[in-house]
Structure 1
Amino acid sequence: MQIKSIDHLVLTVADIEQTLAFYTRVLGFREETFGDNRKALCFGNQKINLHLKGQEIDPKAAYPTCGSADLCFIADTDVETVMQELKEKNIPVVAGIVDRTGAVGKIRSVYLRDPDNNLIEISNYVR
């Protein structure tokens, strides 16, 4: 077996509407409704399905909890502009522009937290 890519992942959240508002307003994701009125956040060819804490969809993680994710997103927007946009939207930055290593090379990253305190990394690959 060889895995090609990630299709979706799941975040367990305390408040689906608050999560949708944050990811659409701050990160520009698209809201999607699917299945039995379930909610997801879409970007590129991927999505994040949202489970409300205590009402998770089976099968689920063994210990679903809010705030346990550490996610890195690659942005088309340069991280300097990302920093400025976060400042304009009054979103606290956990760590400024720092050098890291991504899946296929060096990246420059900015860190913030979503409403559930998940760590969100927004990055650009260094060219």
Structure 2
Amino acid sequence: MSQLILVEDDLDDIYFFKMACDAVTPKLEVTVLHDGNELIEYIEQNNCIGKVILLDLNMPKMSGLEVLKKLNKSNMINQLIIITYTTSDHREDVKAAYELGVNSYLTKPDNLEQLTQLVSSLSEYWFTFNLNLKE
């Protein structure tokens, strides 16, 4: 089963993301983490190769950019598929995220239909067409 790790602190965004995942085929297994600290701990304790990590930038405790900096320092960034998934479309955030090693930068859609389309496209690309080092 295709696995996504959603790092998101907003409960509404989590709810709608899960709804969108339930609407796509094949089904996606979604692990939800609520901040950057949880993600770092999860990565240290689990094999995340082949899993897609959707990382929000604006989170409490440790922001998405801070997570990326930490992953860069430990050289783990090159082993992971990390996609920024955020409301920010500020040029500085986009540039910083790419400089820190994200594979893609997505902004959150405005409605469930667009979100479902995004999740479907993301799933098709990363789990069907893209070759990666799966477990």
| TM, length-normalised to structure 2 | 0.29
| Bigger share in helix | 2
Tell which has more relative contact order, 1 or 2 (C-alpha 8 A, sep 6+).
2
| TM, length-normalised to structure 1 | 0.31
